[in-house]
Protein backbone atom coordinates (compact mmCIF):
# COMPACT_ATOMS: atom_id res chain seq x y z
CA UNK A 1 0.00 0.00 0.00
CA UNK A 2 1.25 3.43 -0.90
CA UNK A 3 2.27 5.52 2.12
CA UNK A 4 0.03 8.41 1.08
CA UNK A 5 -2.94 6.02 0.95
CA UNK A 6 -1.98 4.63 4.35
CA UNK A 7 -1.81 8.16 5.80
CA UNK A 8 -5.18 9.05 4.28
CA UNK A 9 -6.76 5.95 5.83
CA UNK A 10 -5.10 6.72 9.16
CA UNK A 11 -6.46 10.26 9.34
CA UNK A 12 -9.94 9.19 8.26
CA UNK A 13 -10.23 6.42 10.86
CA UNK A 14 -7.82 7.51 13.59
CA UNK A 15 -6.12 4.12 13.48
CA UNK A 16 -4.77 1.60 10.98
CA UNK A 17 -3.57 -2.01 11.14
CA UNK A 18 -0.43 -2.61 9.08
CA UNK A 19 3.04 -4.12 9.26
CA UNK A 20 5.50 -2.79 11.78
CA UNK A 21 7.88 -1.52 9.09
CA UNK A 22 5.18 0.54 7.36
CA UNK A 23 3.88 1.87 10.67
CA UNK A 24 7.32 3.06 11.71
CA UNK A 25 7.80 4.63 8.29
CA UNK A 26 4.65 6.76 8.53
CA UNK A 27 4.96 7.76 12.20
CA UNK A 28 7.29 10.65 11.36
CA UNK A 29 5.09 11.74 8.47
CA UNK A 30 2.07 11.82 10.80
CA UNK A 31 3.93 14.07 13.23
CA UNK A 32 5.00 16.34 10.38
CA UNK A 33 1.49 16.65 8.93
CA UNK A 34 -0.05 17.39 12.34
CA UNK A 35 2.60 20.05 13.00
CA UNK A 36 1.98 21.60 9.57
CA UNK A 37 -1.76 21.61 10.25
CA UNK A 38 -1.13 23.49 13.51
CA UNK A 39 0.39 26.36 11.55
CA UNK A 40 -2.80 27.49 9.91
CA UNK A 41 -1.55 29.34 6.87
CA UNK A 42 -2.63 28.79 3.30
CA UNK A 43 0.62 27.20 2.14
CA UNK A 44 0.49 24.45 4.76
CA UNK A 45 -3.20 23.77 4.14
CA UNK A 46 -2.60 23.42 0.41
CA UNK A 47 0.27 21.02 1.08
CA UNK A 48 -1.95 18.88 3.34
CA UNK A 49 -4.79 18.82 0.80
CA UNK A 50 -2.39 17.84 -2.01
CA UNK A 51 -0.63 15.16 0.06
CA UNK A 52 -3.70 13.40 1.44
CA UNK A 53 -5.91 11.71 -1.13
CA UNK A 54 -9.34 12.82 0.09
CA UNK A 55 -10.56 16.21 1.31
CA UNK A 56 -12.42 14.41 4.12
CA UNK A 57 -9.18 13.20 5.69
CA UNK A 58 -7.56 16.63 5.38
CA UNK A 59 -10.56 18.34 6.98
CA UNK A 60 -10.62 15.82 9.81
CA UNK A 61 -6.92 16.44 10.43
CA UNK A 62 -7.32 20.21 10.52
CA UNK A 63 -10.63 20.48 12.38
CA UNK A 64 -10.68 17.49 14.77
CA UNK A 65 -7.20 16.09 15.34
CA UNK A 66 -5.11 19.26 15.65
CA UNK A 67 -7.24 20.89 18.41
CA UNK A 68 -6.66 17.81 20.60
CA UNK A 69 -2.92 18.48 20.87
CA UNK A 70 -2.29 22.22 21.35
CA UNK A 71 0.84 21.80 23.51
CA UNK A 72 2.41 18.66 22.02
CA UNK A 73 5.23 18.87 19.50
CA UNK A 74 5.54 15.19 18.58
CA UNK A 75 4.58 11.71 19.72
CA UNK A 76 0.97 11.75 18.57
CA UNK A 77 0.80 8.01 17.84
CA UNK A 78 1.46 4.70 19.51
CA UNK A 79 2.13 1.21 18.18
CA UNK A 80 0.34 -1.77 19.65
CA UNK A 81 1.66 -5.14 18.57
CA UNK A 82 -1.02 -7.53 17.41
CA UNK A 83 1.04 -10.53 16.38
CA UNK A 84 2.49 -12.14 13.30
CA UNK A 85 0.66 -12.30 10.01
CA UNK A 86 -0.18 -15.83 9.02
CA UNK A 87 1.26 -15.97 5.51
CA UNK A 88 4.72 -14.47 5.89
CA UNK A 89 5.13 -14.00 9.66
CA UNK A 90 5.38 -10.22 9.33
CA UNK A 91 4.79 -8.42 12.63
CA UNK A 92 1.42 -6.67 12.51
CA UNK A 93 0.74 -3.58 14.61
CA UNK A 94 -2.13 -1.24 15.26
CA UNK A 95 -1.10 2.40 14.84
CA UNK A 96 -3.43 4.80 16.61
CA UNK A 97 -3.59 8.35 17.87
CA UNK A 98 -3.09 8.78 21.57
CA UNK A 99 -5.91 10.33 23.49
CA UNK A 100 -5.62 13.82 24.91
CA UNK A 101 -5.51 12.62 28.53
CA UNK A 102 -2.93 9.87 27.89
CA UNK A 103 0.23 11.88 28.30
CA UNK A 104 2.32 9.10 29.84
CA UNK A 105 1.19 9.97 33.33
CA UNK A 106 0.89 7.18 35.87
CA UNK A 107 -1.89 7.58 38.36
CA UNK A 108 -0.35 7.76 41.80
CA UNK A 109 -1.97 7.51 45.17
CA UNK A 110 -0.21 9.21 48.11
CA UNK A 111 3.00 9.52 46.10
CA UNK A 112 3.18 5.78 45.31
CA UNK A 113 2.04 3.69 42.45
CA UNK A 114 -1.08 1.76 43.24
CA UNK A 115 -0.27 -1.84 44.02
CA UNK A 116 -2.19 -5.05 44.09
CA UNK A 117 -1.52 -5.89 47.76
CA UNK A 118 -5.18 -5.48 48.62
CA UNK A 119 -6.19 -8.02 46.00
CA UNK A 120 -3.60 -10.52 47.28
CA UNK A 121 -4.95 -10.23 50.82
CA UNK A 122 -8.52 -10.58 49.62
CA UNK A 123 -7.61 -13.75 47.70
CA UNK A 124 -6.24 -15.39 50.88
CA UNK A 125 -9.51 -14.80 52.74
The answer to whether residue 116 is domain-embedded is yes
The answer to whether residue 56 is domain-embedded is yes
Grouping H, G, I as helix, E, B as strand and the rest as coil, residue 44 is helix
For residue 108, the model assigns a pLDDT of: 46
The answer to whether residue 45 is domain-embedded is yes
Confidence category of residue 106, pLDDT binned at 50, 70, 90: very low
| Stretch among 2-16, 30-44, 72-86, 96-110 having the lowest mean pLDDT | 96-110
For residue 40, the model assigns a pLDDT of: 80
Phi, psi at residue 19, to the nearest 5°? -75, 160
Spatial contact of 92 and 84, defined as CB atoms under 8 Å apart? yes
Work out the percent of the chain whose per-residue pLDDT is above 70. Answer: 79
| Confidence check: pLDDT of 61 > 70 | yes
pTM here is 0.76
| CATH number reported for the structural domain that contains residue 46 in this entry | 3.90.1030.10
- Judging by beta carbons within 10 Å of its beta carbon (0-12, 13-18, 19+), is residue 71 exposed, middle or buried? exposed
Q: How many domains does the chain have?
A: 1
Distance set, CA 21 to CA 92, 94, 124 (Å)? 9, 12, 46
Helices then strands, counting H and E runs in the chain, come out as 5, 5
Which residues span the domain enclosing 20?
Answer: 3-120
Amino acid sequence: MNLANLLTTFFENGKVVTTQAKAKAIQGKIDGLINKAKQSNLTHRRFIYSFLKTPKSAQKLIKEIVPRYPDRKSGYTRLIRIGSRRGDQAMMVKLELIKKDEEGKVKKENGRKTSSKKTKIEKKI
